[in-house]
């Protein structure tokens, strides 16, 4: 049984976020995966996410609550044999040259959201918000999938946030793209924008 939970955690850590993806990756029935995910949620290991400010909750995804768990199951556990054989430096080099930036990019988004709560406590943001979270969905106009790193909102006001973890300066095109995505929301009469850059 522990190995099955490990398989679910590994599947999430390596990119499977929807129930059917997790079931397929682990070879479990969807109902069994759902039951085990509920246990992992109760334990605080996994969290269930839905797009913030969305009335439709069919787009639920699963993520690991603790970024250390995500790091361990994504980078360390799959390479346990090589690390135990003394090849930790080689594994570390591959991780740093390959996928580490995507892991840090996600962590950077989480830190940005924490920063927003701190700034709200200090009365240093334009909108005192009640909720903050990621948003993803389809543009009604283009039918393209869109994603916003975070929306902090309350009533008719919202702050739209974009987080860029890359070795290049964030420019006006990033802001313009965020404003374009914010235009998908006509339920907010007051819109503000925050950019976080490495």
Question: Residue 57 has what pLDDT?
Answer: 53
- Which one, of 23, 65, 61, 13, lies nearest residue 40 by Cα? 65
Q: What residues pair up with 146 in beta bridges, in sequence order? A: 137
Question: Residue 108 has what pLDDT?
Answer: 96
Q: What is the DSSP letter of 190?
A: E
Task: Report the SS3 class of residue 52.
Answer: coil
172-194 confidence digits (pLDDT tens): 999 999 999 999 999 999 999 99
* Sites in the chain below the pLDDT cut of 50: none
Question: Residue 58 has what pLDDT?
Answer: 65
pTM of the model: 0.87
Please report which helix (H) or strand (E) contains residue 178, including its range.
helix 172-182
Cα–Cα distance for residue pair 25/141, rounded to 1 Å: 34
Question: Residue 167 has what pLDDT?
Answer: 86
Domains and CATH numbers, the chain: 2-98 (1.10.10.10), 102-197 (no CATH)
Question: Residue 22 has what pLDDT?
Answer: 97
Pair 101, 81: CB distance under 8 Å: no
């Amino acid at each position: 049984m522990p190995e099955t939970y490990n398989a679910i955690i590994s599947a999430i850590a390596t990119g499977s976020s929807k129930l059917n993806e997790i079931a397929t990756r682990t070879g479990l029935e969807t109902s069994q995966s759902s039951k085990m995910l509920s246990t992992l949620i109760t334990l605080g290991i996994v969290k269930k996410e839905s797009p913030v400010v969305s009335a439709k909750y069919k787009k639920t995804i699963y993520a690991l609550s603790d970024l250390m768990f995500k790091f361990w199951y994504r980078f360390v556990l799959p390479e346990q044999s090589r690390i135990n054989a003394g090849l930790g430096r080689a594994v570390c080099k591959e991780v740093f040259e390959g996928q580490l930036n995507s892991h840090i990019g996600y962590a950077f988004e989480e830190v940005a959201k924490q920063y927003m709560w701190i700034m709200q406590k200090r009365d240093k943001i334009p909108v005192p918000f009640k909720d903050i979270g990621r948003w993803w969905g389809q543009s009604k106009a283009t039918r393209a999938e869109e994603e916003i790193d975070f929306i902090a909102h309350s009533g008719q006001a919202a702050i739209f946030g974009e987080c860029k973890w890359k070795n290049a300066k964030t420019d006006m095109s990033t802001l313009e793209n965020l404003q374009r995505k914010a235009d998908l929301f006509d339920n907010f009469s007051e819109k503000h924008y925050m950019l976080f850059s490495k």
